[in-house]
Amino acid sequence: MERWPWPSGGAWLLVAARALLQLLRADLRLGRPLLAALALLAALDWLCQRLLPPLAALAVLAAAGWIALSCLARPPRLPVATRAVLITGCDTGFGKEAAKKLDAMGFMVLATVLDLDSPGALELRACCSPHLRLLQMDLTKPADISHALEFTKTHTTSTGLWGLVNNAGLNDVVADVELSPVATFRRCMEVNFFGTLQLTKGILPLLRRSGGRIVTLGSPAGDMPYPCLGAYGTSKAAVSMLMDIFSCELLPWGVKVSVIQPGCFKTESVKNVGNWEQRKQLLLAGLPQELLQAYGEDYIEHMHGQFLHSLSLALPDLSPVVDAIIDALLAAQPQRRYYPGHGVGLLYFIHYYLPEGLRRRFLQAFFISPYLPRALQPGKPGPTTT
């Protein structure tokens, strides 16, 4: 078939014009998704010129390019204007970076920290505008939460409160459930669930008045059975369910609720290997002799080493999570769930659509590989019972 390049060129001009317009309006971002779409369009162009009549090739390529750019376009966002947002856990990590970015965008940011003299708090004071307000809050202390609620009401009388970002969280132990003290489950629930519940309930009158947003940092460990993250995962599962309930109940008020389920990112807590080593030593020191004999110290060392290896693969760039927080706050129609991070989408696909045995093996290979407890190893003595 004789090739006629003009229809192809016309389609590319149309695609280029729309892409340029979207870039100028900041509705499109230069990045891998755009480059991948252009590569696929080039391959489609090659096929169309060889298999279709010129006008049909023009129509197919133009339609494909239009659809691709529509899918890549950022959904419409609300103006920042004078919106105020309360963010918890801003000493480090996602909370600190989100506070800096939202402040730069023009939000009035109320940022809670555990310590007003922490390095993160000092950094926020140094690099952010005078509109950012810091307040001390520990989610395990009801008095701190009550003070934060009064602080928020006082500082948003003229603007109202648009958003609450529940970012503060705690992971206290990495061990099998049987090896984890019940106190660690209580500590995780106090911060990740009960503290978040009390703060969110207290702030709801302000959010109902503004028809605002609730954004909560969850974890894939709350959706699937990550080995050795029982205390953390169950608390995150509880808070995710709580947010789903809030989403239904607050719908008539116009309050939209989003949960962000990030992959593994290199936050300060992830990078603090010494802290994880200290927690492992505390776990070993507090184990009953019978459990230590049944599992063996080498079992705990293996789990600890595997966990640290998974942390070494954490992504250093926190911007995907910060971008998800911003979208949840400003998108006209925010998503119920966000999954920032490489491979998170694949992880959820495997979890929801593959058989249980494959799911379990994938999680073990992805996170912590299996290792037999001492009592189950051939030639090793089993635990003694009284």
Residue with the larger pLDDT of the pair 291 and 367: 291
CA distance 286 to 302: 18
CA distance 103 to 128: 7
Compute the C-alpha angle 86/220/33, nearest 5°. 85
Q: What is the pLDDT of residue 163?
A: 97
Q: Which helix (H) or strand (E) holds 290?
A: helix 289-295
Read out DSSP for 182-227?
HHHHHHHHIIIIIIHHHHHHHHHHHHHHHT-EEEEE--GGGTS--T
CA distance 151 to 135: 8
Indicate which residues carry an active-site annotation: 232
CA distance 318 to 98: 9
Condensed to tens digits (0 to 9), the pLDDT of residues 10-51 reads 788 888 888 888 777 767 777 778 888 888 888 888 888 888
Condensed to tens digits (0 to 9), the pLDDT of residues 119-143 reads 999 999 999 999 999 999 999 999 9
Mean pLDDT over 91-112 rounds to 96
CA distance 9 to 24: 22
Instruction: Quote the mean pLDDT of the chain.
Output: 89
Highest mean pLDDT among 51-55, 57-61, 76-80, 238-242: 238-242
Task: Say what percent of the chain tops pLDDT 70.
Answer: 96
Condensed to tens digits (0 to 9), the pLDDT of residues 219-272 reads 999 999 888 999 999 999 999 999 999 999 999 999 999 999 999 999 888 888
CA distance 356 to 361: 9
* pLDDT of residue 5 exceeding 80: no
pLDDT band at 328, cuts 50/70/90? Answer: very high
Residue with the larger pLDDT of the pair 252 and 350: 252
Going through 73-149 in order, the beta strands assigned E by DSSP cover 84-87, 108-113, 133-136
Condensed to tens digits (0 to 9), the pLDDT of residues 149-184 reads 999 999 999 999 999 999 999 998 899 999 999 999
Q: What is the pLDDT of residue 148?
A: 97
- pTM equals 0.83
Strand partners, 134: 111
Half-sphere exposure of 347 (CA within 13 A, CB side): 22
Q: In Å, how far are 169, 232, 272, 283, 311 from 277, measured between CA atoms?
A: 19, 18, 9, 10, 13
Q: What is the pLDDT of residue 273?
A: 87
Joined together, the tokens standing for residue 29 give 């971002």
Condensed to tens digits (0 to 9), the pLDDT of residues 190-200 reads 999 999 999 99
Question: Are 167 and 191 within 8 A, CB to CB?
Answer: no
Q: In Å, how far are 82, 91, 195 from 137, measured between CA atoms?
A: 24, 11, 10
CA distance 52 to 47: 8
C-alpha 41: how far from its chain's center? 32
Contacts of 201 (CB under 8 A, 6+ apart): none
Task: Say what percent of the chain tops pLDDT 90.
Answer: 59
* pLDDT of residue 386 exceeding 60: no
Highest mean pLDDT among 100-114, 262-276, 336-350, 354-368: 100-114
Read out DSSP for 305-342?
HHHHHHHHT-BS--HHHHHHHHHHHHBSS--SEE--ST
* pLDDT of residue 109 exceeding 80: yes
Question: Are 192 and 81 within 8 A, CB to CB?
Answer: no
